[in-house]
């Protein structure tokens, strides 16, 4: 239990710290919204770039793991869609419900937990590189599917919406950073040491600041209203998701306690991505449902992540 505590405490404490900082009024919500963009564009993106560029894991070796994360997301979409029709949700609710049930917080929660899980093992860099390889196509797939889901459940969306979606995918900082790193890795070139140090410095800033930002932007007021749909969405994202992933990796013959198995299980147990709330509002979905799901899944993921760490240790 002490191992689980040591892994999750840094994550929990930084989220809680962010929550209280956000309530002091010392910094405005606009500040944290801006800092989240700063971390996403200029912290996580360089981290993804340098880890992808310097990774020793071959892309061909990770195909099976990438398939696992894509299959998981697809399964969650199917499960959430079925549940949404059983509950007879409106289109506006359905889009937010499905979106929040399948979109995991790989970058802001997944990477820190994975990093802390392998801390002291001597395999931190290898684990982080493999995690980046797995999560990049996962993020790409989440962006595409979540946008399509929101568009499909919003009336009056024409080609302009689809064109905007395509541009946002191509210009996404994480996608750009990983694509650039992958190109360097495949060509066999080495990144100059000065650039490596710069990217690593920016990356070391990104993960703790991202967790503080999550806590600071939690709005408990969003929990007002119908609570059953967000509770179910949070359960799907943090409890059903790891269960589905367990069956997926078992099918592919991936050992549960291996590095790839542990990384895949930790990604599957992550909470709903914070960006889901912004995207839901952008496509005129149910913002309260999205916000409530993010809050509930953030807390429930502490249980799911702790359970995954316990069974994969």
Q: What's the chain's average pLDDT?
A: 84
Percent of the chain past pLDDT 70, that is, above it, reads: 89
Nearest CA-CA partner of 4 in 312, 311, 310: 310
Of 31-45, 213-227, 294-308, the one with minimum mean pLDDT is 213-227
The model's confidence at residue 194, banded by pLDDT at 50, 70 and 90, is very high
**According to the model, what pLDDT value does residue 229 have?**
92
Query: What is the rounded distance in angstroms from the CA atom of residue 298 to the CA atom of residue 282?
Result: 22
Identify the residue whose tokens are 């609570």: 227
Residue 158 pLDDT > 60: no
Long-range contacts of 298-304 (CB under 8 A, 24+ apart): 298/15, 298/214, 298/218, 298/271, 298/272, 300/234, 300/235, 300/238, 300/239, 300/271, 301/109, 301/237, 301/238, 301/269, 301/270, 301/271, 302/8, 302/12, 303/238, 304/238, 304/239, 304/241, 304/242, 304/269
Nearest CA-CA partner of 65 in 214, 228, 208, 253: 253
What are the beta bridge partners of residue 104? Answer: 272
User: Considering the domain 2-312, what is its CATH architecture?
Assistant: Up-down Bundle (1.20)
Query: Using only C-alpha atoms, what is the Rg of the chain?
Result: 19
For the chain, domain boundaries: 2-312
Residue 128 pLDDT > 50: yes
Q: What is the pLDDT of residues 239-292, one digit of tens each?
A: 999 999 999 999 999 999 999 999 999 999 999 987 787 678 767 788 888 888
Residue 57 pLDDT > 50: yes
Q: Rounded to a whole number, what is the distance in angstroms from the first to the last CA of the chain?
A: 11
Give the predicted TM-score (pTM) of the model.
0.77
**According to the model, what pLDDT value does residue 11 have?**
72
Query: What is the rounded distance in angstroms from the CA atom of residue 200 to the CA atom of residue 51?
Result: 9
**According to the model, what pLDDT value does residue 309 have?**
92
Structure tokens at 10: 């840094």
The model's confidence at residue 159, banded by pLDDT at 50, 70 and 90, is very low
The model's confidence at residue 222, banded by pLDDT at 50, 70 and 90, is low
Residues 158-169 have a mean pLDDT of: 59
Q: What is the pLDDT of residues 59-114, one digit of tens each?
A: 667 889 999 999 999 999 999 999 999 999 988 899 999 999 999 988 778 888 89
Question: What 3-state class would DSSP assign to 104?
Answer: strand
């Amino acid at each position: 239990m002490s191992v689980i505590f040591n892994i999750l405490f840094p994550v929990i404490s930084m989220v809680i710290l962010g929550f209280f900082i956000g309530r002091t009024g010392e910094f405005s919500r606009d500040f944290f919204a801006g800092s989240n963009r700063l971390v996403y564009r200029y912290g996580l993106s360089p981290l993804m770039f340098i880890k992808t560029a310097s990774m020793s894991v071959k892309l061909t070796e990770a195909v099976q793991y990438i398939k696992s994360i894509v299959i998981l997301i697809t399964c969650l979409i199917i499960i959430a869609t079925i549940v949404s029709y059983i509950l007879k949700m409106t289109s506006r609710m359905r889009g937010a419900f499905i979106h929040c049930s399948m979109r995991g917080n790989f970058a802001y929660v997944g990477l820190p937990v994975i990093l802390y899980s392998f801390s002291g093992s001597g395999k931190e860099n290898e684990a982080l590189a493999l995690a980046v390889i797995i999560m990049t196509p996962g993020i790409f797939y989440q962006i595409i599917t979540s946008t399509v889901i929101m568009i499909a459940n919003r009336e009056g969306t024409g080609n302009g919406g689809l064109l905007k979606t395509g541009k946002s995918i191509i210009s996404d900082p994480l996608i750009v950073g990983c694509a650039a790193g992958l190109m360097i890795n495949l060509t066999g070139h080495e990144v100059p040491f000065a650039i490596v140090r710069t990217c690593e410095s920016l990356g070391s800033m990104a993960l703790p600041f991202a967790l503080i930002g999550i806590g600071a932007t939690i709005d408990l007021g969003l929990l007002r209203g119908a609570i059953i749909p967000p509770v179910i969405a949070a359960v799907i994202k943090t409890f059903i998701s790891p269960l589905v992933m367990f069956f997926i990796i078992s099918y592919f013959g991936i050992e549960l306690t291996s590095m790839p198995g542990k990384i895949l299980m930790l990604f599957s147990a992550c909470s709903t991505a914070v960006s889901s709330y912004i995207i839901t509002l952008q496509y005129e979905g149910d913002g309260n449902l999205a916000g409530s799901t993010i809050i509930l899944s953030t807390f429930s993921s502490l249980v799911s992540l702790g359970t995954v760490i316990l069974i994969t240790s």
